Amino acid sequence: MTRVLDSYVQDAWWSPDDAADAVVVRDASTGAEVCRVSTAGLDLAAAVVHARTVGQRSLGALTFHQRALLLKQFALALTACKDELYALSAHTGATSRDNLSDIDGGLGVLFTYSSKGRRELPNAQVVVDGPAEPLAKDGSFLGRHVYTRLPGVAVQINAFNFPMWGALEKFAPAFLAGVPTIVKPATPTAYVAEAWVRILVESGLLPAGSLQLVSGAVPGLFDLLDLGDTVGFTGSAGTAERLRSQAKPGVRFTSETDSINASVLGPDATPDTPEFDAYVRQLLSELVTKAGQKCTAIRRAIVPEGVQPALATALAAKIAERVVVGDPRAEGVTMGPVVSTAQRDEVLRSVRALQDAGGRLVIGSTAPPDIRRADGTTGQAPDGAFLEPMVLAFDAAHAEAGAAVHEVEAFGPVTSVLGYRSLAEAADLVGRGGGSLVTSIATHDPAVAVELITRVGAYNGRVLVLDRDDARTSTGHGSPVPHLVHGGPGRAGGGEELGGIRAVLHYMQRTAVQGSPRMLTALTGVWHAGAEADATGTHPFRKPLTQLRLGDRIESAEREVTLDDIETFAAFTGDTFYAHMDEAAASANPFFPGRVAHGYLLVSWAAGLFVDPDPGPVLANYGLENLRFLTPVSPGDRIRVALTAKQITPRETDEYGEVRWDAVIRNDRDEVVAEYDVLTLVAKEWPPAAQEATA
């Protein structure tokens, strides 16, 4: 007997004492036993408690940036063991090209979240959402939306087709949010999940309790979960519905399920266009990659009526040229088997259902194919889960009848071709999938793209427009990217697993917090106007990050604006806009009393008013944000500026960090002339440690 797969719970490896009832998992190509899976006797309740206590505590001790840096280190540790993961993945039927989506795709998710976490989240523990809302005239009472992490465990239940990427796309945002994860992989490929978890455990990088793995069934799981816990399910729509009904009301249950995705060929993309070629290449790729076992694969190719035969001919030629079905360990194989013989039989059942609904097999057959074996020989492989690429054609009448083509997911190398007579009909056919993860549109005509996107957007989580300009660089119909939403409405489950920082917020609760500026400053780490500010001490530009405090301020002297200054600035910069140069024209403008100073002159002067010019801890000014000119400044007015340290973000990996300053320019009537944030890089120590040693 091969080994029984371990689980990793309570920061230790666990295996069952009695594996008599273990499920046998077999190699997809040869049918040889790979491992057995059982959780008989596993204390799931203890794992949940461990996540909620130990995992929450260890992740709670870290900031977003510290967690983000760990994600990068996880990615590097896994990268170092990529070959081991590839070799294991071959048992699932994955070719080296398929590994790019699961193994390399998983690493890509970790790297992306690491970088996004450090660029888009504060080096803190809460996320603010939107601007502060003033709720009292004197500024003493404000409201602000703030995200704090959920106090429970993120349980993820995954599909068999992406044992690494599918888990990491949920783990990365949960980890970044500060919520510990329990991974429950699908049984047929659980050994790949066990391998990447083992690599992370052996790296010694995982904070205690932050990641646990349950290799096998999870009976009673939903009784253990409560308010503050999440379940992220990926799998078939049927299983999702069953599990959703078991979750208590307080448990956030999101699902990413199967979807009958579409790809529309625009009416302009006739067979002699680059768009037609790109469409055919994409269709081939979606048919063959992972032997069609992708939730995002194209199940319906929707093409202008009459183009079906040309499409079938072009696709058949490409398949003949490029597709070699066989054991992924054999040289030259481009399409492996599906994951198991049970899955193969399930796909054949679905193909028969599509045929019963009027589909004609125009490419491929349901007969067992001759395949290339690992030793290079060719022939039948009854113990392997091999299928040929299969394409079914439906005529318009059947499409109109609302046949199974919109409902049956043949989760293998299978796609159906349908004709449409108008864009409205094409969009209607897309919508009949009942909600999809993705639709792609091949067109070079912006009017076609806009009409289709506005009609099908509501039915899709993602829409990809393919044309001659992006065909070479497109990431592809079937490849979700961590920056953008992956999920879809209706049948697709309604989830949004990926989507950049949006995905992190799924593991956090948004709360409207009301209080004084002082309280909101303490909570958010962002200084709010009205909170304490100190303009009495050392100039804040003399303070390194270790000494600078929120509210440290410089209040400048006044400077008078003269007509001479305005004309000099106009001549120097070339900005002779009439509002600065022509009294009559400026007075006729509804916003100006007469000639006024340039806004950029005032901002430049403000810098001159607040700066401390000597070399010091302020290393650079890297921009302004949220600049608004609120009151025009006329010759004779006097301006002054107040600059207050608003947000201090030390970098984890550098000797400096970002400081955001609140800048307010006022005139001598105390009216606000301009407001903005000044962004600077400031050294953590000054003089820097090395200079100090030499001094």
Binding site for ligand NAP (CB under 6 A): 157-162, 166, 184, 186-187, 217-218, 234-236, 239, 243, 256-258, 295, 409, 411, 437, 493
CA 661 to chain centre: 30
> Phi/psi zone of residue 103: left (φ > 0), alpha (ψ -120 to 50 degrees), beta?
alpha
- Of the pair 245, 536, the CB lying nearest ligand NAP is at 245
482: nearest Cα among 66, 68, 122 = 68
Amino acid at 1: M
Residue among 186 and 414 whose Cβ is closer to ligand NAP: 186
In whole angstroms, give the CA distance from residue 13 to residue 34. Answer: 19
Cβ–Cβ < 8 Å for 546, 172: no
How many CB atoms lie under 10 A from the CB of residue 610? 22
CA 566 to chain centre: 48
Q: Annotated catalytic residue: which of 169, 256, 286, 409?
A: 256
Which tokens belong to 204?
């010694």
The one-letter amino acid code at 279 reads Y
How do strand 154-157 and strand 230-234 relate by DSSP bridges?
A: parallel
Distance of CA 311 to the CA centre of its chain: 33
Q: Distance from CA of residue 594 to its chain's centroid?
A: 51
Token pair in block for residue 668: 């001598």
Smallest distance from ligand NAP to CB 168, Å: 13
Smaller CB distance to ligand NAP: residue 438 or 663? 438
Q: Which residue is nearest to ligand NAP (CB)?
A: 235
256: annotated active-site residue: yes
The smaller minimum CB distance to ligand NAP, of residues 160 and 605, is found at: 160
| Cα 417 to Cα 314: distance, rounded to the nearest angstrom | 13
Rounded Cα distance between 200 and 196, Å, is 6
Strand locations in 522-617 (E): 553-555, 559-560
Instruction: Establish whether the linkage from the previous residue to 304 is cis, with ω within 30° of 0.
Output: no
Q: Is 22 left (phi over 0), alpha (psi -120 to 50) or beta?
A: beta
- Least distance to ligand NAP, CB of residue 228, Å: 20
Set 169, 194, 275, 295: catalytic member: 295
Strand partners, 145: 129, 512
User: Closer CB to ligand NAP, residue 205 or residue 243?
Assistant: 243
CB of 5 to ligand NAP, least distance (A): 11
Q: Is 12 helix (H, G, I), strand (E, B) or coil?
A: strand
**CB 231 to ligand NAP: min, Å:** 9
Nearer Cβ to ligand NAP, position 234 or 263? 234
Q: Output the smallest distance, CB 633 to ligand NAP, in A.
A: 56
Closest CB 224 distance from ligand NAP, rounded Å: 12
Nearer to ligand NAP, 15 or 66 (CB): 15
Contact between 234 and 159 under an 8 Å Cβ cutoff? The reply is yes
- Supply the minimum distance, in Å, between the C-beta of residue 22 and ligand NAP: 12
Least Å from the CB of residue 217 to ligand NAP: 6
Tokens describing residue 596? 């006024």
Axis crossing angle, helix 423-431 with helix 446-456, rounded to the nearest 10: 30
The single-letter code of the amino acid at 212 is Q
User: Which CB atom, from 184 or from 252, has the smaller least distance to ligand NAP?
Assistant: 184
Least distance (Å) between residue 186 CB and ligand NAP:
4
Residue 413's SS3 state is coil
List Cβ neighbours of 263 (8 Å cut-off, separation of 6 or more): 279, 282, 283, 286, 298, 300, 301, 302, 439, 440, 441, 442, 477
Nearer to ligand NAP, 304 or 487 (CB): 487
When the beta carbons of 410 and 442 are compared against ligand NAP, the nearer one is 410
35 is catalytic: no
DSSP string covering 593-636, please?
SSS---HHHHHHHHHHHH---SS-SEEEEEEEEEEEE-S---TT
Distance CA 552, CA 659 (A): 11
- Could you give the C-alpha distances from 625 to 124, 220, 675, in angstroms and in order? 20, 51, 9
- Nearest approach in angstroms of CB 433 to ligand NAP is 12
Q: Catalytic residues, which ones?
A: 256, 295
